[in-house]
Amino acid sequence: MSRIIDLSLPIYHMAPTMGPDPKCAVIAYHTIDSIKYNLSQLIISSHQGTHLDAPYHFFNNGRTLDKLDLSKCVGPAEVFDLSYAALKYNILPKDLKPFESRIKSGSRILLRTNWYKKFPKKEYFSEGPRITPQLAAWLAEKKIALLGIETPGPHPTEWEKVHKSLLKEEVVIVEGLANLNKIKEDTIFLIALPLKIKSRDGSPIRAIAIENFHETCVNR
């Protein structure tokens, strides 16, 4: 029987985000008392919480959200346990060597570090494990489809190099994942779809993992 694990951080009024980004506002705009139904206004960064980066995020000629190959965002994904990668740990290709047989062209890779547990503390945004430029280049060379991480960004200082290495090869980057420690299987079915925002760079997502997905489908 399949099991769904929510991999997303909550969005709420004044939820923290990266310093330069717009502040998050979730405002009651209409209420049942005032107009007979509840309706909210959202003012939100395209990179709020659990979100996805499209190539246009760093390349003006890059693919935008509405032009993404959605097959990169949906399908089997490999979960790698890097829970030893604590405060400011630099994740290098050698850290993924034990999993290399599971990394192929088109792979979706999720890196478990348990860093989501620091949200919404200030250190969540700057002190976590880092995707090094070396690792980004190594994964881009392998032509993976998607990289998912539990930090809000890949690296606090080398972010441009890392983003450009991956996005140049159209590797979808999912940032701000949560609850990867609740996954019991090495391979799950991932759904990490963005909003269809025309001509833009990123989107909050509701990411989920489905365990025993194949078994459930076969038995129906």
CA 153, CA 203: separation in Å to the nearest integer? 14
Kindly give, in sequence order, each residue whose CB lies less than 8 Å from that of residue 205, ignoring residues fewer than 6 positions away: 8, 50, 51, 52, 174, 192, 193, 194, 195
| Domains of the chain, residue spans | 3-9+46-219
Residue 41 Ramachandran class (φ > 0 left, ψ -120 to 50 alpha, else beta): beta
CA 168, CA 19: separation in Å to the nearest integer? 25
87-119 tens-digit pLDDT = 999 999 999 999 999 999 999 999 999 999 999
* pTM check: above 0.85: yes
Residue 190 has pLDDT above 60, yes or no: yes
Spell 182-218 as b/e; 16+ CB within 10 A means b. Answer: ebeeebbbbbbbbeeeeebbbbbbebbbbbebeeeee
- The answer to whether 208 and 6 have CB atoms below 8 angstroms apart is yes
Fold classification of 3-9+46-219 is Glucose Oxidase; domain 1 (3.50.30)
The residue that leads in pLDDT, 32 or 220, is: 32
Cα 220 to the center of its chain, rounded Å = 30
- The answer to whether 129 and 91 have CB atoms below 8 angstroms apart is yes
Confidence of residue 218 (pLDDT cuts 50, 70, 90): very low
Nearest to 152 by CA among 176, 126, 120: 176
Report the mean per-residue pLDDT for the chain: 96
As a whole-number percent, the residues of the chain with pLDDT over 90 amount to 95
CA 183, CA 4: separation in Å to the nearest integer? 9
pLDDT of residue 1: 86
Residue 217 has pLDDT above 80, yes or no: no
